[in-house]
Amino acid sequence: MLSFSHPAAAEPRILCFGDSLTAGYGVASGADYPSLLQQRLREKGFAHRVINAGISGETTAGGLRRLLGLLQQPPTLAIVALGANDGLRGLSTQEMKHNLSEIVRQLKQAGVRPVLAGMRVPPNYGRRYSDEFAAVFTQLAKEHQIPLLPFLLARVAGEATLNLDDGIHPNAAGYRQVLENVWETLHPLLP
């Protein structure tokens, strides 16, 4: 009987699972944070392969529905950066929390180490909603005992020079800062 080795299968993989902030909406190919993360890993001598599973407009409910397909070949680690579109649409924070909790549970069940990326909504949604929204990520990280990147867009949100004209999506310079935010949380988790 012949057997074939698949060296790529042994390669550790990092799944960047999110929405347009992961997909790289509005920037050139290679300027999104998953592409920059891949470059950083190679520069630092890590053999990890980064998979960009970002879809513009994705909500936590949509992410939950497509997760099973992404786990056919489970990654080593997953950065879960979902929730921004739930917030922009004013969806229930309890429903968002349920969906994110289920995503984390399924990742862990598949042997994947999840990292949760926190998100915030603009203040025009009202302080109560904004506070409840931001608290979901901290609560889930504690409940599931997983690493939390406190705010994916730290030092980017609200900075005109780091965002596209829509004021929501990072530009190429903004994504370089997003990479630093991700790297700060991710680097200590790498073998």
Note the pTM of the prediction, 2 decimals. Answer: 0.93
The verdict on whether 130 is a catalytic residue reads: no
20 among known catalytic residues? yes
Which residues neighbour 109 within 8 Å (Cβ) at sequence distance 6 or greater?
Answer: none
Mind listing the pLDDT tens digit for each residue in 64-111?
999 999 999 999 999 999 999 999 999 999 999 999 999 999 999 999
Q: Is 166 a catalytic residue?
A: yes
For the chain, domains (ranges, CATH) are 10-189 (3.40.50.1110)
Supply φ then ψ for residue 34, to 5 degrees.
-60, -40
Query: Which is catalytic among the residues 19, 20, 32, 35?
Result: 20
Would you call 129 exposed, middle or buried from its count of C-beta atoms within 10 A (0-12, 13-18, 19+)? middle
Q: How confident is the model at residue 5 (pLDDT cuts 50, 70, 90)?
A: very low
Q: How does pLDDT run across 103-139, given as a tens digit for each residue?
A: 999 999 999 999 999 999 988 889 999 999 999 999 9
CA angle 44, 24, 7 (to 5 degrees): 45
